Structure 1
Amino acid sequence: MDIKKKLVMNFKTVLGKKVALSVDNPREDLNESEIKTAMENILAKNIFTSNGDDLVAFVDAKVVETGTTDYDLKL
């Protein structure tokens, strides 16, 4: 089974919409303080927009793991 991890950071826009930004393969030793600092920097520097709407607040963050199992179905 192939396991993949990504850090998903959720933000809110000026219009109240939720926007997710993700980073593949986050460091294993990543901690909450580093994630919060990164999200604060994203907001402070106004790096991203969603359909022209600025991100104004961070909502939450999580590391998501997905597993994939391939099956060889050739006859």
Structure 2
Amino acid sequence: MEVSKKLLMSFMTTSGKKVSISVDDPRENLTETEIKTAMTTILSKNIFKPAGENFASLVEAKVVETGTTEYDLVL
């Protein structure tokens, strides 16, 4: 089984929509402080504008692990 990890950082836009940014294969020793700092920088510098909207606040951050099992279907 192949396992992949993603860091999901969620923000609220000025119109109240939740928007997430994902980072593949986050560093194993990534700290909560580093994540908060990165998210605060993204928020304060208006780096992303989904649908032309600014991010208004931080919502959450989490690392998600996904396991994938492939099956050979060749007969």
TM-score (norm 2): 0.97
- In the comparison of the two structures, how many residue pairs are matched? 75
Percent of pairs with identical residues: 61
Cα distance in 2 between the residues matched to 1:53 and 1:18: 11
Return 5+ residue gaps in structure 2 as ranges: none
Return 5+ residue gaps in structure 1 as ranges: none
Q: Which has the higher strand share?
A: 1
Runs ≥4 in structure 1, deviation > 3 angstroms?
none
State the Cα RMSD in Å. 0.5
TM-score (norm 1): 0.97
Cα distance in 2 between the residues matched to 1:36 and 1:3: 25
Q: CA deviation at 1:50?
A: 1.2
Q: Which has the higher helix share?
A: 2
